[in-house]
Amino acid sequence: MDAPPLQLDGAEQRVVTPSERVGEGTRRVLEMLESILASGGLVLLRDSVEWEGRSLLKALIKKSVLCGEQVHILGCEVSEEEFREGFDVSINSQLVYHDLFRDPLNWSKTGEALPGGALGALKAMYRRPDPGPVIIALDSLSWLLLHLPCTTLCQTLHTLSHQDTCSGDTSPVARVCVLGLLHEELHGPGPMGALSSLAQTEVTLSGTASQTSAHILYRRPRQRPTHKIQWFSILPDFSVDLQGGPPLESQPHPHPDTPLVDPTTHLTFNLHLSKKEKEAKDSLTLPFQFSSEKQQALLCPGSGQATSHIFYEPDAYDDPDQEDPDDDLDI
């Protein structure tokens, strides 16, 4: 079998093997996922009807588990079986799942429901015996907004994502990152603005017909916000495949189905010029435009040219009084 073609890298003409290309791609994927999780605090994953965000949420969860971090999941919108689907056994065994989907209001009285409902489940995550890095995934914030007052949820998220020490313990928490999946089309500008002001990182999903883009907004303490766009696809095992993005002409427009309309179609006058009219316009010398000949004639009059003078004779009704020019109006 023929060996796969090798690629030359840069000006040094170094041979890049296929394994090195795979390693470079893996490094870039890890950098993207780590940049989203690095700041800790609240990370908003904003999706829509066209671009779902649960796959990216699960990709971030998988990356965190592989890095040895604790991962707590508060499941509200889908069942635990559906959420765990796609993860292998090694990943699922490391997830701490809090099921709020099966019986959110504790109507069954079986003891399986979380005590205190959604708010009690969030507050229960304050106390953890292990002070290591923790990832808390909320699936989803939209569900919580429908069942909790916005102010209460924002206060709880602020407390949850800014834990300096474990409750009842003096051991410092290395990093707490709250991943909140938010369906932005379900909420008005008030709740969206409140949650956005709390977030250290916002990821807004969009894209084209074949590729997904993540518009990532970073808010670092004492730094200016920065913005980055990543094009990617999510594989069935929730690995991320970074892509270069589509060409400019294929990127979506705000209203791709709206036909272009000429704004001069129904005017009562003509804004377009014919070829002869354009030639006449270009050859026209405007009054305030001085040709070189005219400038010379005005600035350097010849000896034989007559000069003009203005002679003024005061009229009998002229008013020479400069202090009271309107004295003729006095009655």
Structural element, H or E, at residue 183: strand 176-183
pLDDT single digits (tens) 140-165? 899 999 989 999 999 989 888 876 54
Residues in CB range of 248: below 8 A, 6 or more apart = none
Alpha carbon distance 36, 38 (integer Å) = 6
Specify the length of the chain in residues. 331
Tell me whether residue 181 is exposed, middle or buried, using C-beta atoms within 10 angstroms of its C-beta: 0 to 12, 13 to 18, 19 or more. Answer: buried
Q: Where are the alpha helices (DSSP H) in the chain?
A: 18-37, 54-66, 80-84, 89-92, 117-124, 141-147, 150-161, 189-198, 275-283, 292-299
Q: How confident is the model at residue 169 (pLDDT cuts 50, 70, 90)?
A: very low
Could you tell me if 41 and 199 are in contact, meaning their C-beta atoms sit under 8 angstroms apart?
Answer: yes
Q: Please give the average per-residue pLDDT across 38-55, as a whole number.
A: 90
Which is it for the CA torsion 247, 250, 252, 255, positive or negative?
positive
**Ramachandran bin of 68, using left for φ above 0, alpha for ψ from -120 to 50, beta for the remaining angles:** left
Nearest of 249, 232, 251 to residue 241 by alpha carbon: 232
| Beta-strand pair 226-234/240-243 | antiparallel
The whole-angstrom separation of Cα 287 and Cα 276 is 21
Q: Across residues 15-30, what is the average pLDDT?
A: 63
What average pLDDT does the segment 165-175 reach?
A: 50
Looking at the DSSP bridge assignments, the partners of residue 137 are 73, 179
From 222, 132, 217, select the one nearest 177 (Cα to Cα): 132
Q: What is the DSSP letter of 185?
A: G
Could you give the percent of the chain with pLDDT greater than 90?
Answer: 29
Q: Taking 80 as the threshold, does the pLDDT of residue 247 lie above it?
A: no
What sign does the dihedral 261-262-265-268 (CA atoms) show?
positive
The per-residue pLDDT for 16 is 47
Please state, in angstroms and rounded to a whole number, the distance separating the CA atoms of residues 37 and 46: 15
65-79, 112-126, 151-165: the lowest-pLDDT one: 112-126
Q: What is the pLDDT of residue 241?
A: 87
Of the two residues 303 and 183, the one the predictor is more confident about is 183
The predicted structure's pLDDT at residue 8: 44
